[in-house]
């Protein structure tokens, strides 16, 4: 069946970079493709696939008949994808770093080009309408995002709004060409009720704590002026927060509790002014 070419977004005729510049490590492992398809299929929403390539994941996903928008920069891949997929798949020739995410609930899926993982994740986390994301990223990034062996600043900054889960390590041999590192499959679920309400202030706070001088939570908080030294250790222990932990070792709930503790004076001041 022939499909109409979708040019509703900026069309990219041909990308000057070759497969290497575009991070075109295509997935060839059937078991991983099945897992991605299953995880993506669990939510009922329409699907947005980032970086679909020539359709390793899009083709099996498309068989279920759900609407899929597939955003691919390389016009050769996009052409091929259009030929291989049914009408419920709309291929958009665009850069995922510029693509406007839909303003209705949707599920995200993508085997991301390794060199763009962090900028894509930053965009994804700041986008508002998706509910579940199923993403294949470098192994180290997957571990840090899911908080395994220590969470990154990016994860801590977004944890009150999202739950991150690591599903599997995907060996480099599952891709063609074979990349230099393994990948990891993660899911991100938007929390129905965020653990924190003040996003910008909370994220500034996380950055100050992560980049602050000293070792151990208590020292960092006091030296960066987030907590008054007198009785600070007591107040942390009162809320079951470990005084000697490193920022990377805190859980989502601990970050939320820490934020409440450190923002209490500002809140009280706000209330007394009102
Ligand atoms: C790692 S491959 C994944 C392909 C396919 N999903 C698979 O698993 O076989 C990454 C894909 O992203 C595309 N890509 C790279 N940069 C992009 C960008 N900025 N916007 C959209 N697609 C991009 C590449 O052309 C390539 O097809």
The residue whose CA has the least distance to atom 11 of ligand 1 is 51
Q: Contact at 8 Å (CB) between 105 and 21?
A: no
The reply to whether omega before 151 is within 30° of 0 (cis) is no
Q: Which residues contribute to the annotated binding site?
A: 25, 27, 72, 95, 111
Q: Quick one: pLDDT at residue 44?
A: 87
Helix (H, G, I), strand (E, B) or coil at 36: helix
Looking from the CA of residue 58, the nearest atom of ligand 1 is 6
Domain boundaries, the chain: 26-190, 199-263
Which residue out of 9, 15, 24 has the highest number of ligand 1 atoms within 8 Å of its CB and is therefore the one to mutate?
24
Q: Beta-carbon neighbour count of residue 105 at 10 Å? A: 14
Assess: ipTM above 0.95. yes
What are the binding residues for S-adenosyl-L-methionine?
25, 27, 72, 95, 111
The residue contributing the CA closest to ligand 1 atom 13 is 51
pLDDT of residue 21: 74
Per-residue pLDDT of the chain (274 residues; tens, 9 = 90+): 446 555 444 444 444 455 567 889 999 999 999 999 999 998 889 999 999 999 999 999 999 999 999 999 999 999 999 999 999 999 999 999 999 999 999 999 999 999 999 999 999 999 999 999 999 999 999 999 998 889 999 999 999 999 999 999 999 999 999 999 999 999 999 999 999 999 999 999 999 999 999 889 999 999 999 998 889 999 999 999 999 999 999 999 999 999 999 998 655 555 555 5
Looking at residue 37, its pLDDT comes to: 97
Residue 112 CA to ligand 1 center (angstroms) comes to 6
Cβ distance 56 to 50 under 8 Å?
A: no
What is the per-residue pLDDT for 271?
54
Torsion sign over Cα 24, 96, 68, 146: positive
Specify the CATH number of the domain 26-190.
3.40.50.150
Q: What global pTM score does this model have?
A: 0.90
Q: How far is the CA of 75 from the centre of ligand 1 (A)?
A: 11
């Amino acid at each position: 069946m022939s499909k109409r070419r979708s040019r509703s977004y900026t069309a990219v005729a041909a990308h000057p970079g070759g497969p290497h510049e575009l991070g075109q490590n295509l997935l060839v492992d059937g078991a991983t493709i099945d897992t991605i398809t299953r995880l993506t299929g669990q939510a009922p929403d329409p699907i947005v696939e980032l970086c679909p390539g020539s359709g390793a994941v899009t083709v099996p996903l498309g068989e279920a008949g759900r609407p899929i928008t597939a955003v691919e920069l390389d016009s050769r891949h996009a052409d091929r994808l259009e030929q291989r997929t049914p009408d419920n798949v709309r291929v958009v020739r665009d850069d995922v770093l510029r693509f406007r995410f839909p303003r209705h609930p949707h599920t995200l899926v993508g085997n991301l080009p390794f060199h763009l993982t962090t900028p894509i994740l930053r965009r994804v986390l700041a986008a508002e309408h998706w509910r579940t994301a199923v993403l294949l990223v470098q192994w180290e990034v997957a571990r840090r995002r899911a908080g395994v062996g220590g969470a990154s600043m990016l994860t801590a900054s977004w944890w009150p709004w999202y739950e991150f889960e690591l599903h599997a390590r995907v060996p480099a041999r599952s891709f063609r060409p074979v990349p230099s590192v393994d990948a990891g499959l993660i899911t991100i679920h938007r929390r129905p009720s965020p653990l924190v309400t003040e996003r910008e202030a909370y994220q500034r706070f996380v950055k100050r704590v992560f980049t602050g001088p000293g070792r151990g939570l208590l020292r960092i908080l006091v030296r960066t002026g987030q907590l008054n030294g007198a009785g600070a250790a007591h107040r942390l222990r009162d809320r079951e927060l470990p005084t000697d932990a490193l920022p990377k070792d805190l859980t989502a709930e601990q970050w939320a509790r820490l934020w409440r503790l450190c923002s209490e004076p500002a809140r009280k001041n706000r209330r007394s002014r009102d």
